[in-house]
Structure 1
Amino acid sequence: MTVSLEQLRRCHIAVDLGAARTRVFVKGQGVVVDEPSVAAVNTRTGGLIAVGAFAQQMTGRTPEYIRVVRPVSGGTVVDVDMAQRMLRHLLGDKLRRALRRKPRLRAAACTPHESDPLARRATVETLVGLGARRVELVDTLIAAAVGCGLPVERPEATMIMACGAATTQIAVLSLGAIVTAQRLPVGGDAIDHAIVSHLRHRHDLLLPAQSVRPLQLAVDAADPRTGTTEIHGRDAATGLARSVTVDTAALREAISAPFTTILDGIGRVLRTCPPDLVADLAEGGLTAVGGSALLPGLDRMLKEATGMPIRIAENPGMCAVQGLGAMLEGRVGPMTLSPLPAR
């Protein structure tokens, strides 16, 4: 963590800008925003048409003069102006007026592990544009570990994996800090792309933009007698609607490449971790957070590959913002390491 708990207690709001969803926590009110990080823009006038869930529903369904954009990618703001406009509309006029009454508005925000200075600056500029006088940045891994109840302040190892839409972050924590960590450019979007590519090349089937996540759930809920699931889409040759029956084992094989990358990242973290902490993980295991942690079969695959206990956090997508909220409201006790007296 790059900021002290005392500084975080002075903050009024906490923001988790994710590639998939944006969440805002207000001190004393809890989570007030939990919407997709999507905005729809009229390219003729530059006006904002929709944000959040409604803008996400417009994906792939808009006329040529409406463009659906994502101002955040992998937890990093790639379009500061659009991110500010999206946040203003998500917060609403009433809440923004209440925040402007704060004499010195302070905000806290999550940043991906080892994000570069330009990415951190973009996050700060986004919140400063909303009226924040000071912005504190907290590593996403530490915020998520606090939010899912891991004992990060103890002198024992806790392992966490934050599965986002664009990236996967893996870390071992001890004594309130990150001992070793890896950030991988693989997330839920890569698994979506693997499924879409498999159906395109094997079955000449094009999927609607909104159907990939329900397809992943169908993989886990397939007919146990036949091991198949029915998928609806558009024929790549004729353009007509068509349904195909797909072997779920083939789909699981199609997504093995991104899963293998995640396993390699876990292996690198364990190899660079001190042996004493690795021994702690044999009992404590790994906790998965983030929206993509709910992918069907992820916990089974990790347990079979690592031999460690795997736990999916309750409401994993909310862990980071809830951890920030706990720090803002003083529900996390400071860890003090007093120096020994001189002799």
Structure 2
Amino acid sequence: MTVSLEQLSRCHFAVDLGAARTRVFVKGAGLVVDQPSVAAVNTRTGALIAVGDFAEQMTGRTPQYIRVVRPVSGGTVVDIEMAQRMLRHLIGDRMRRALRRKPRLRAAACTPHEADPLARRATIETLVGLGARRVELVDTLIAAAVGCGLPVERPEATMVMVCGAAATQVAVLSLGSIVTAERIPVGGEAVDRAIVQHLRHEHELMLPSQSVRPLQIALSDNGLTPQGPVSTEIHGRDVATGLARSVRVDTAAMRDAIHTPLLAVLDGIGKVLRDCPPDLVADLVDRGIMMVGGTALLPGLDKMLQEAIGIPVHIAERPDICAVQGLGAMLEGRIAPLVLAPLAA
């Protein structure tokens, strides 16, 4: 781990700043924030109008003087000031006052694997702006593995796959550290775009950005598997006329469109396994891969990966909040490290 469990146990709250959702865990209070990473701003006055769920509902429906922004992209803070304002409102005045009373307020945060120094610095400055005197950074892969109950501290191979909105991260862990890992710039947003482009090119149909969730409508039941529904009806706007129109699309063609971006994920998993020591790969044949993250809930994705790589694929009980739960477990001291004391001469 990048920091010791002792240092993390001194932290008072933890933040998982994701491209899709922001989650905040407070020691002693649990998960207090689980909202979309979205803010709505009045461009005339600079005032913050809404954050979270309400701001996300405004996407694509605002007048010209209201701008909906996402201060986090791919797990990296791209607008520090807006991220601070968003977090202040999401946490609320009461919780912020309680945190400020803590002596030498400490915070922990998730960072993507191999995040560059600028990205790490942006995360630290965001939390320092909330009053944190010290910020500890934890690799998202380790936090997610801890959050879904994997024995990361043991000398055994555990493989975790974090399926985020902007990227997918895959790693093999042993003895509390990452043995080999890969970050693939393909996530839930790429799958959404593949569906939207397929409908535009094949059916000349444009989907509303929020009123229709492409994955939930195009995929149901068994989703990506051939046993899924043969066809489904989708409502949108005609590209030529601009009028509302409904079309019935073949879900087999939809699955083919989705498979294209997912091939990059399969390549990333293969690279991690090739770079992994043989003894650890042998452990994974029985243990398999644990999927976490919001995109892990894509129907049929686990079955498709299992058929492609020949290793069991499991989905965590609450894949969307595993990373922040892992941070919370480390903050509250629920993780016992494996002590490797030096041998006497």
TM-score range, shorter chain: over 0.9
Look up the match of 2:249: 246
Q: What amino acid maps onto 2:274 in structure 1?
A: R
1:13/1:27 contact within 8 Å kept: yes
> How many pairs does the alignment contain?
342
Question: What is the correspondence of 1:208-223 to structure 2 with a 5 Å cutoff?
Answer: 208-211=208-211, 213=213, 215-221=215-221
TM-score for both structures, normalised by structure 1: 0.98
Look up the match of 1:177: 177
> How far apart are the structure 1 equivalents of 2:122 and 2:61?
30
Identity percentage over the alignment?
78
Residue 313 in structure 1 maps to residue 316 in structure 2: yes
Structure 2 segments unaligned to the other structure (5+ residues): none
Q: What amino acid maps onto 1:194 in structure 2?
A: A
**Displacement of 1:258:** 1.1
Greater than 2 Å deviation, 4+ residue runs: 211-218, 220-226
1:193 is paired with a residue whose SS is helix
- Change in Cα spacing, 1:212 to 1:178, as seen in structure 2 (3 Å) is farther
> How far apart are the structure 2 equivalents of 1:169 and 1:212?
27
> How far apart are the structure 1 equivalents of 2:79 and 2:123?
10
Look up the match of 1:227: 230
Look up the match of 2:265: 262
1:220/1:297 contact within 8 Å kept: no
- Any idea what the Cα deviations from partners look like across 1:231-279, whole Å, max 9, x if unmatched? 0000010000000000000000001111100000000000000000000
2:215/2:298 contact within 8 Å kept: no
1:128/1:134 contact within 8 Å kept: yes
Q: What amino acid maps onto 1:122 in structure 2?
A: A
Look up the match of 1:297: 300
- Any idea what the Cα deviations from partners look like across 1:139-193, whole Å, max 9, x if unmatched? 0000000000001111110000000000100000001100000001110000000
**Displacement of 1:211:** 4.5
Question: What is the correspondence of 1:185-204 to structure 2 with a 5 Å cutoff?
Answer: 185-204=185-204
Q: What amino acid maps onto 1:317 in structure 2?
A: D
Look up the match of 1:59: 59
> How far apart are the structure 2 equivalents of 1:71 and 1:44?
19
Look up the match of 1:324: 327
Q: For the aligned residues, what is the CA RMSD?
A: 1.3
Moved more, 86-95 or 224-233: 224-233
> How far apart are the structure 1 equivalents of 2:62 and 2:56?
11
1:331 is paired with a residue whose SS is coil
- Change in Cα spacing, 1:22 to 1:226, as seen in structure 2 (3 Å) is closer
Structure 1 segments unaligned to the other structure (5+ residues): none
1:194/1:254 contact within 8 Å kept: yes
> How far apart are the structure 1 equivalents of 2:261 and 2:170?
15
**Displacement of 1:224:** 7.0
